[in-house]
Chains A and B, each alone.
Chain A
Amino acid sequence: MSSAAAKKQRPKYLSLPAILFQIRLPLPGWVSILHRVSGALLVFPFAAWALYLLDVSLRSEQGFSRIREYMGMPLAKLGLLVFLWAGCHHFCAGIRYLALDLNKGIALRPARISSAVVIVASLALTALFAARLW
């Protein structure tokens, strides 16, 4: 019994270079790896950044106007754009995964279509939020 467990060769690792350069990912694969990348970015640095912004902007009137000024800087705007995309992609792809977990759209064609929808919708949402904020 223990030998059967040993033969399973677990865990199985996929190296990052292999994922990036050797494996040609289909569209659902891109949604998946971008879900990871956006999730990692949201944990760090964006969650820390968001907490910092919330902290200072709620602390005082001066803090609030300082954050407004700070968010007007080009670099902060660029950061916010990436933050928005990461949030939108993680949100849209997450909804898709919840649907897949409920066995909705798991056939090849709907899965490909929904992954294209996720990529386009998250970019469109990012553009929409960006347009409203600028």
Chain B
Amino acid sequence: MVNRVIVGAHYGTRDWLAQRVTAAVMAVYVVVVLALAASRAPFTYESWKALFTHGGMRVATLLFALSLAWHAWVGVRDILMDYVKHDGLRLALQVLTVLLLAGYASWTIQILWR
């Protein structure tokens, strides 16, 4: 008989799934944007600017940035849990990571809606 002892906060499956869904979102974005950028030759300020002020592109880029923040949070947290043994240091680095990723997301919004 399997006698499982259930421990933990049960956020594992949600994070696991979120990391994969956000990965798929970012993969699609990267491929589409690379194709768009390549098709918009010659590469000038006007074409570059037009690409990122397009309404659909703004939404897509914001989705990418939010996906990246969530995806990277799970990834960096896993790395810190694996290698940083000291609880205080790990907590500090995790807080720093959250602040950094939130900063990236707000910077992206600033760039897109200027």
Contact = CB atoms under 8 A, between A and B. Distances in A.
Interface in A64-94: 64-65, 87, 91, 94
A20 B103 CA distance: 32
Contacts, number: 68
A13 B5 contact: no
B107 A55 contact: yes
A57 to B, nearest CB: 6
A13 B85 contact: yes
A58 B107 CA distance: 13
Main secondary structure of the interface of A (DSSP, over half): helix
A121 B108 CA distance: 30
Interface in A1-37: 1, 4-5, 8, 10-11, 13-16, 36
B48 A94 contact: no
Given A58-B49, A98-B20, A13 B82 contact: yes
Contact of B79 (A36, A47, A65): A36
Nearest to B8: A10
Given A5-B7, A98-B24, A58 B111 contact: yes
18 contacts: A10-B7, A14-B83, A39-B75, A40-B76, A43-B72, A43-B100, A43-B101, A47-B104, A51-B107, A54-B52, A54-B111, A55-B110, A64-B48, A65-B45, A91-B30, A94-B23, A95-B27, A98-B24
